[in-house]
Structure 1
Amino acid sequence: MISLGFITIEEQQEMEYCTEIAKRAGRYGIAVYRFTPLDIDPLTEKVHGRAFDEKRQAWTKSTFDIPSFLYDRCFYRSDIRSKKCKPIMQWLKRRPDLVFLGYGFPGKWDVYEKMIEHPLLSPYVPKTARLQSSADILRMIRREQAVICKPEHGAGGRGIYVIQKAERKLHIRDASGQTTALVGQKSELEQWISTLLQQHSYLIQPFLPLQTKENEPFDVRFLFQKDGTGKWIERCRAVRVGHPGMFIANVRAGADVRDFSGWIRSFPSPQRILIIDGIETIIRALPSYMDEHFGTLFELGIDIGITKEGGVWIIDVNSKPGRKIVAALHPDKKDDVYEAPLQYCLFLANEVNIL
């Protein structure tokens, strides 16, 4: 029987998703386990985690070998637990006897550098720079209305700041739109950046006007997964609309989820054609290109921003996306999402001749 391990930082993280996968695993000849990196005994390399009991349809405490196939759903923060887990995951990914459904991205900067090399994708990528000093922000803000600062390894909109110039001062706001600092001197900006970079490395981009008429932030999220033949499949596309005054449209932060087809019809026909052409260019080229340059991937979340003028921009590419847009718009497709990791695991097992 094939063994598939579902790995998270926190023990209860994504419990519903993992359980729904495990309930369907038996028919694929797959045994599902869940654990955190800290559940691995460094001496014996045995895992003290939980196994899914098919008869009882429940998780039971169990000690087992590291599963041959691993599904990485670890999200790292700056806490001590994350810092302990990350090197263990890096060790697992270096082992030739283990196969990950997806190996993820090294960081947003690496993704940016690859995207700007692609002749079709580069026109849709906002100018991006690494944040190292106040000069980086001042240089960009002279040319732009505002600058957005993003953690290089961030997810879910955490740690984002927007810097806007007004009345000879820089207003620094967090993702919720709250002012966290008011900077009038270069030395003050240097101090703010120094404190910021103690926690994470950061990237900066022009802050794009991606708001509705009601001042709500929005983007379009595309969820891709691979199927049982290793082919990329678009599972869902949705418009995510955040609260007025905020800078992110993340579902975890309370964003509303709306149907894409109804939303796109609100644009005049000539503009709509250009927007759809840009979107189709991105989603046709991006998934396979990411695979080619970052190794095997299983799923992708692609976030696309659209300005009032119809400009199309790649806002983010996420190798560990959530699935809430499917539940909100297409609950009938939830089975496809739950079975996709099992189908792809079976495909990988055939590829590496483990069966």
Structure 2
Amino acid sequence: MISFGFVTIYDQQEIDYSTEMAKRAERYGITVYRFTPLDIDPLTEKARGKKFHAATQSWIESVFDIPAILYDRCFYRADERSKKSKPIMQWIKQRPDITFLGYGFPSKWDLYKRIIDHPLLSYYVPKTVLLRSPTDLLHMIRKEKSVICKPEHGSQGKGIYVVKQVENHLHILDTSGQTIAAIKRKIDLQHWLEALLHRSSYLIQPFFPLKTKQNEPFDVRFFFQKNEHGTWSERGRGVRVGPPGTIIANVSAGASIFDFSKWFSQIPSPQRLFIADGIETITNVLPSYLEEQFGPLFELGIDLGITEEGAVWLIDINSKPGRKMITTLSPEKRDTIYEAPLRYCLFLANEVNVR
């Protein structure tokens, strides 16, 4: 049997997903374990976590060697558990006897720097600056009027702010669209930024008005996974629409999901040609290019923003995407989604002779 580990920061994180996957594992000759980085004993290098018991279809307490193949589903935040977990995962990724389904990205800033070097992809990336001082923010505000601030290591739409120029002062909005501060003096901006950057490093970009006619934020999510042959496969695409007046269209923040084809068919013909060309370029080129730059990956969530004029912008890339979009729009793909990590695990096991 192949030992396969599902790793999360918190014990019950993504329990439904890991359980559905584990229920299907026995037919592939795979034993599934769940654990967190903090479950590893530094002396014995064994983990105290859960093993899926096929006979009872349940998780049981177990102590085990770190599995030979790991599925990293760790989402790091500013809390102590995340801070302790991250270096442990970095240590495990250096071990030659352990293989990960995917190794992820260093940071959004590293992503940006690599993508702007690509002769085709660079046209679709918004101007991005590492936020270090009020000058960085004010310089972009003068050009764009509205700026979005994103955590360099953020995920799931958390920690995002929009800064808008309103007459002679700045309004700072959270993701719900509420103004949390109105700043008139540079010293007040300095204090706000110091508090912000104390929690996390941040990037800034122009804030595009990606809204529906009902003032709802929206974007288009493309979900890719590796198949059993180790090649990229698009599992689906959908439009995510947030509540009216909010800032982002993230499912975890309450966004609704809609069929891409229906949405696309309502766009006027001239814009459709531009949009289709941008989508084709990005989805055909980006996955393999990212692997060239950052090493093996297993899945990708690619988020595109599309303007009324038909401009396509690459607004986010996630190496640990959720799968609610697929299970909502295409319930018949549930088995495919749950079995994909197992099929790719077999591919990797054959590649590195793991048994």
Output the TM-score relative to the length of structure 2.
Answer: 0.99
Residue 167 (structure 1) shift: 2.1
Residue 270 (structure 1) shift: 1.4
Equivalent position of 1:150 in the other structure: 150
Whole-Å separation in 2 of the counterparts to 1:111 and 1:176: 27
Equivalent position of 1:250 in the other structure: 250
Whole-Å separation in 1 of the counterparts to 2:354 and 2:327: 34
SS at match of 1:198: helix
Equivalent position of 1:308 in the other structure: 308
SS at match of 1:112: helix
Equivalent position of 2:262 in the other structure: 262
Moved over 6 A (4+): none
Residue 43 (structure 1) shift: 0.8
Whole-Å separation in 1 of the counterparts to 2:163 and 2:46: 48
Equivalent position of 1:48 in the other structure: 48
Whole-Å separation in 2 of the counterparts to 1:325 and 1:126: 25
Q: Deviation string for 1:36-79 (max 9, x for gaps)?
A: 01111111111110000001110000111100000000001111
Equivalent position of 2:279 in the other structure: 279
Amino acid at match of 2:247: F
Equivalent position of 2:34 in the other structure: 34
**Are residues 1:331 and 2:337 paired?**
no
Whole-Å separation in 1 of the counterparts to 2:126 and 2:66: 41
Equivalent position of 1:133 in the other structure: 133
Q: Deviation string for 1:298-334 (max 9, x for gaps)?
A: 0000000001111100000000000000111000001
Equivalent position of 1:11 in the other structure: 11
Whole-Å separation in 2 of the counterparts to 1:301 and 1:12: 23
Residue 119 (structure 1) shift: 0.8
Whole-Å separation in 1 of the counterparts to 2:347 and 2:163: 46
Equivalent position of 2:351 in the other structure: 351
Equivalent position of 1:191 in the other structure: 191
Percent of aligned positions that are identical: 65
Residue 354 (structure 1) shift: 2.0
Amino acid at match of 1:113: K
Whole-Å separation in 2 of the counterparts to 1:158 and 1:216: 18
Amino acid at match of 1:214: Q
Amino acid at match of 1:261: S
Whole-Å separation in 1 of the counterparts to 2:86 and 2:354: 27
CA RMSD of aligned residues (A): 0.6
Equivalent position of 1:97 in the other structure: 97
Whole-Å separation in 2 of the counterparts to 1:65 and 1:137: 48
Output the TM-score relative to the length of structure 1.
Answer: 0.99
Residue 110 (structure 1) shift: 0.5
Q: Deviation string for 1:167-206 (max 9, x for gaps)?
A: 2010000111111111101111111111100010000000
Residue 159 (structure 1) shift: 0.5
Residue 208 (structure 1) shift: 0.6
Whole-Å separation in 1 of the counterparts to 2:254 and 2:209: 20
Q: Which runs of 5+ in 1 are unaligned?
A: none
Equivalent position of 1:204 in the other structure: 204
Amino acid at match of 1:155: S
SS at match of 1:130: strand
Amino acid at match of 2:200: H
Amino acid at match of 1:120: L
SS at match of 2:327: helix
Whole-Å separation in 2 of the counterparts to 1:28 and 1:293: 31
Q: Which runs of 5+ in 2 are unaligned?
A: none
Equivalent position of 2:235 in the other structure: 235
Whole-Å separation in 2 of the counterparts to 1:48 and 1:166: 54
Equivalent position of 2:88 in the other structure: 88
Amino acid at match of 2:41: D
Amino acid at match of 1:225: Q
Amino acid at match of 1:270: P
**Are residues 1:178 and 2:170 paired?**
no
